[in-house]
């Protein structure tokens, strides 16, 4: 089965990026969305959402791209459909299938009218059992057909980061392919080999194993991040301690690796926190002891308050504090579960006057922090009255900060650097530089001596 025509159901950040990426690799792609503005943007050669290089790629490959509001049109004129709709967390911490059920109902009705074999691929993140037991019955009921002989079904989540979705989609570490049967898996693997720029391997397995693998990857990564943050605190308590030196050594061990081992601040965003919570929910439902996941989530959510408590001896009472970086990661406008936003709230509750800055995320953070902090997209404005500056992300404007920018005519200022990216500032006597994860106290040595001194 040689496939040339594909369809994408859902034109959000991932769906629109997949559409552009597949078209760039020579496939004809039909995008589907319930939002007419998104459909019109695609058909006009514009990006429907903000994402790096998305608009340029859609414009460059416009002859192979079109969009529609009609699922039937997309299914009839393609051989495989990728479903990328929201699966938001519900009050239990599980992933809701509300939008996926709606999409699968429409897809089933479209399959009923189609005489050729067609593969449905769920890309949205779901929990184990959801594809087979929550969504497949809808396809069969609406189409009157049987999965296997009449149509195919796969679960195929992506491992991407906002801000680099297209690059990550075209150059993954591997493709995770959960298949109902070999026929549907063969069709999807063909697409992956066609799309991949780096000849990424395809790991095929059952639907349920793929569902477990997807959410386990993110949960494991969050535990690695939390371990690195704990390690950073250890290093602050040991004379000469430096978390980067220690992490570089740990990363040399092939069992561990260096990625996500840079201690500094907590994890956030639309995936990591909720995936951790959702896997713990599944553990509770299945009788699996998943306390490790809950402990990790509790540890991460408590980081901002612990940092405020730790920094209070260095922060004058009622000080003006500038928090630089409100998105959950650099070069992003997303503030969902953002450590920077949580830090602003914790500082405000502790009695400090807080100004938050982020060039991209300011409009969104302003609403989230309206009772806790002033928010600006002007860096000079954020620094003007600051007694203390906390650098929470490594956006380029922060890395280029000079003593003159920070001081603004003041005789002294304190800079707390969560990622140790501004070390040259320590050479300026007017700047009290406090790098997270590095020991800066001369009193620490006495604690160690007391611990090991002979009785």
**Spatial separation of the C-alpha atoms in residues 391 and 396, rounded to whole Å:** 11
Compute the CA torsion angle 351, 352, 353, 354 (nearest 10 deg). -120
What's the longest Cα–Cα distance across the chain? Answer: 85
User: DSSP states of 189-257 as a string?
Assistant: HHHHHHH-SS---EEEEEHHHHHHHHHHHHHHHHHHHHHHHHHHHHHHTSTT-BHHHHHHHHHTSTTT-
Report the candidate in 254, 231, 255, 227 with the shortest Cα–Cα distance to residue 244: 231
Place of tokens 């404007």: 397
**Active-site residue 271, yes or no?**
yes
- Of the candidates 147, 154, 235, 271, the residue annotated as catalytic is 271
Q: How far apart are CA 98 and CA 86, in angstroms?
A: 9
H helix runs in 354-402, sequence order: 362-368, 379-383, 396-399
| Paired tokens of 220 | 């494991």
For residue 179, give the nearest of 161, 199, 204 by alpha carbon. 204
Dist CA 32 CA 203 (whole Å): 28
Residues recognised as catalytic: 271
């Amino acid at each position: 089965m040689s496939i040339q025509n594909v369809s994408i159901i859902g034109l959000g950040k991932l769906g629109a990026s997949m559409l552009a990426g597949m078209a760039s690799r020579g496939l004809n792609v039909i995008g589907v969305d319930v939002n007419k503005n998104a459909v019109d943007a695609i058909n006009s050669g514009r990006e429907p959402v903000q994402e790096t290089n998305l608009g340029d790629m859609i414009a460059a490959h416009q002859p192979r791209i079109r969009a529609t509001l009609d699922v039937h049109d997309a299914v009839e004129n393609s051989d495989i459909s990728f479903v990328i709709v929201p699966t938001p967390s519900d009050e239990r911490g599980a992933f809701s299938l509300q939008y996926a059920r709606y999409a699968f109902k429409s897809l089933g009705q479209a399959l009923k009218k189609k005489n050729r074999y067609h593969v449905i691929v769920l890309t949205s993140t779901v929990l184990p059992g959801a594809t087979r037991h929550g969504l497949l019955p809808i396809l069969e009921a609406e189409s009157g057909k049987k999965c296997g002989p009449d149509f195919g079904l796969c679960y195929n989540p992506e491992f991407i980061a906002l801000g680099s979705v297209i690059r990550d989609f075209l150059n993954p570490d591997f493709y995770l392919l959960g298949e109902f049967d070999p026929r549907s898996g063969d069709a999807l693997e063909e697409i992956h080999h066609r799309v991949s720029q780096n000849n990424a391997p395809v790991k095929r397995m059952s639907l349920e194993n793929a569902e477990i693998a997807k959410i386990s990857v993110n949960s494991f990564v969050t535990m690695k991040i939390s371990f690195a943050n704990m390690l950073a605190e250890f290093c602050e308590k040991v004379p000469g301690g430096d978390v980067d030196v220690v992490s570089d050594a740990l990363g040399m061990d092939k069992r561990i690796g260096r990625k996500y081992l840079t201690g500094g601040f907590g994890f956030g965003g639309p995936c990591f926190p909720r995936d951790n919570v959702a896997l713990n929910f599944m553990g509770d439902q299945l009788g699996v002891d998943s306390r490790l996941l809950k402990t990790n989530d509790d540890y991460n959510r408590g980081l901002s308050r612990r940092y405020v408590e730790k920094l209070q001896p260095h922060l004058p009472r009622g000080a003006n504090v500038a928090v630089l970086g409100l998105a959950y990661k650099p070069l992003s406008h997303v503030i969902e579960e953002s450590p920077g936003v949580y830090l602003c709230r914790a500082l405000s509750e502790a009695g400090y006057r807080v100004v938050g800055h982020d060039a991209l995320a300011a409009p969104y953070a302003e609403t989230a922090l309206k009772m806790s902090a002033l928010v600006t997209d002007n860096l000079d404005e954020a620094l003007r009255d600051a007694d203390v500056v906390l650098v929470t992300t490594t956006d380029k404007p922060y890395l280029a900060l000079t003593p003159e920018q920070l001081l603004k005519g003041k005789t002294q200022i304190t800079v707390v650097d969560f990622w140790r990216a501004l070390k040259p500032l320590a050479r300026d006597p007017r700047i009290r530089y406090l790098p997270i994860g590095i020991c800066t106290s001369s009193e620490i040595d006495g604690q160690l001596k007391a611990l090991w001194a002979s009785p």
